[in-house]
Amino acid sequence: MATTPRYDAFLQACDEMQRRRDRVAKPMLESLVQQRVDPELPSEVLLAHIIAESLLTRLDRKLVEAKNIYLQSFDIPQIELFYRMCESYPQVPAAHRVANDYLADALRASREATLFEIGVGRGVQVSGLITELQQEPGHLRSLKVLALDPDTTNLAHSQARVEAMPAGPIEVTFVPVHAMLESLQPAQWLALAQTAGHNVVVNSAYTLHHTVHRPNDTELRTDLMRRIAQFFRPQLFTLVEPNADHDTEALARRVDACFRHFGTVFDLIDRSDIPTEHKFVVKEKFFGREIRDIFGVSDAFRCERHEHYESWLFRFAKSEWTPYPRALDHGLKLPSYCTVDTSPGLVRLGYNQQPLIAVFAFESRGARTGAEQ
């Protein structure tokens, strides 16, 4: 990417921070923090402000507070903010659509099946999948949703959403699991696999990059993917992840990745038709929260550790998964300035020649089916 004085200042500040020369880095970062932050601020300046503010938080939280930054407030309910984000970032709902197409294709082949949902959230994607299946069930007549999430509020919301859905030809059972995937012990993995039974599909949307691991640990996620294959032997594993390189302890590399990824996302949002004020809130609050975690939280605890899609492909290969054998027509209708690239087991959704979100569809070797009963 072409460098700018602002970008170069960040790299110099990161170098000083790595050398533990905080007194030198502070004024560099402070000069990039804006006194007034509002919808009129250009996206590249807003992004630099959020990154600088976050890095300063690592050095001196009181210094950031002393800046008395003005941030215009907009009272937009969180659920509306989410939908506004989807309107301005069409690749997000498109990724759910692609994953659900694969999941529905695999589930329709069995009379009884289980969806192991890793990070169910508020149940938006799951409810969309169930609606699709109830309309076109294929052979499916019984679906167990094994929903894992570390947040009990999420589990309660998603269970209520699923259980309130209209009845159809498929009997749906919701089984909440309050846990973090990376904290499961071998006995818990076995118990979950036994509960799931045969004809299992697995879905993880924007979840695996949240798994907590020690700094510089590159194997935990591969091991988790290997355990999913070994214990569940699923017919399909769909994984949805942003395409960015934030799982690094090198600050300069992280800053570069943030400018590339979120700079592209912010530009995409600016192309949308939602109100200017809503564009600002989506950028500053919705994605600003992720950026502040990437830079403003101790590396031992931060959870926004995105990876490039090539890294996930390597993890799939190492944990012995193979691309889903059937190619599907997803019928995506995205704005002309968006891109869709498809290859076996992978759909990349992008903008400006840059993949922003990757959807993976892989199957485990020797998938466990009802024929084994």
Residues 158 and 278 occupy one common structural domain: no
Residue 2 has a pLDDT of: 53
Give strand ranges (E) for the chain. 36-37, 70-71, 112-118, 142-149, 171-178, 200-205, 236-242, 321-323, 338-343, 346-351, 354-364
Residues 239 and 146 occupy one common structural domain: yes
Mean pLDDT of 206-228: 88
Percent of the chain residues topping a pLDDT of 90: 71
Percent of the chain residues topping a pLDDT of 70: 93
Residue 304 lies in a domain: no
Residues 188 and 270 occupy one common structural domain: no
The residues pairing with 339 across neighbouring beta strands, listed in sequence order, are 350
* Least confident stretch, 50-59, 73-82, 170-179, 236-245: 73-82
For residue 107, which of 89, 91, 130, 82 has the smallest C-alpha distance?
130
Residue 80 lies in a domain: no
- Write the pLDDT tens digit of every residue in 260-302: 999 999 999 999 999 998 899 899 988 998 999 898 887 777 8
Residues 109 and 237 occupy one common structural domain: yes
* Domain count across the chain: 2
Residue 41 lies in a domain: yes
Residues 202 and 144 occupy one common structural domain: yes
Residue 56 lies in a domain: yes
Residues 48 and 95 occupy one common structural domain: no
CATH number, domain with residue 129: 3.40.50.150
- Residue 357 makes CB contacts below 8 A (sequence gap 6+) with 91, 92, 94, 95, 240, 241, 242, 243, 348, 349, 350
Question: pLDDT confidence of 62, banded at 50, 70, 90?
Answer: low
Residue 211 has a pLDDT of: 87
**Which pair of structure tokens corresponds to residue 94?**
């498109």
**Residues 163, 158: Cα–Cα separation, whole Å:** 9
* pLDDT at position 69 over 80: no
Domain residue limits at 222: 87-243+310-372
Residue 82 lies in a domain: no
Structural domain ending residue among the three candidates 232, 267, 296: 296
Residues 269 and 239 occupy one common structural domain: no
Residue 103 lies in a domain: yes
Give the pTM: 0.91
- Write the pLDDT tens digit of every residue in 144-201: 999 999 999 999 999 999 999 999 999 999 999 999 999 999 999 999 999 999 999 9
* pLDDT at position 238 over 90: yes
Residue 303 lies in a domain: no
